[in-house]
Structure 1
């Protein structure tokens, strides 16, 4: 059985791009290419925990509940 669609109040809404920090933007760009937190950390010379923090903040800022939803949200912002 398919889950019911989310009520409109739960769908992430667009926001100003300036709400995302430059570091979060770099992490999100690599997420769009399918990279894991570990790979992102290596690529950006950050700790894995720092990347996890950026992903967590991106989820909070966008209202998304998963990495997949965040990537889909980002693709819709282009």
Structure 2
């Protein structure tokens, strides 16, 4: 079986309110050295078949998972072990 791991990030220049909030909390906890925080999403899709996986992942990202106005994505395919 194959697992697709999709990483979704905000495009450069898009305000990351969640990352900004985390950065402010880090300041409150006196965490030094962190210049910027960006938050993204990780989506794992497990497939029972090996047929057309890349096409399926691309279609899911294009039509459902990613807001193309604000986000960009990348993915990798992995052999799925016993999980």
Please, what TM-score do these two structures have when normalized by structure 1?
A: 0.29
Structure 1 or 2: more helix by fraction = 1
Please, what TM-score do these two structures have when normalized by structure 2?
A: 0.28
Structure 1 or 2: more strand by fraction = 2
Query: Max radius of gyration: which structure?
Result: 2
Using CA pairs under 8 Å that are at least 6 residues apart, name the structure with larger relative contact order, 1 or 2: 2
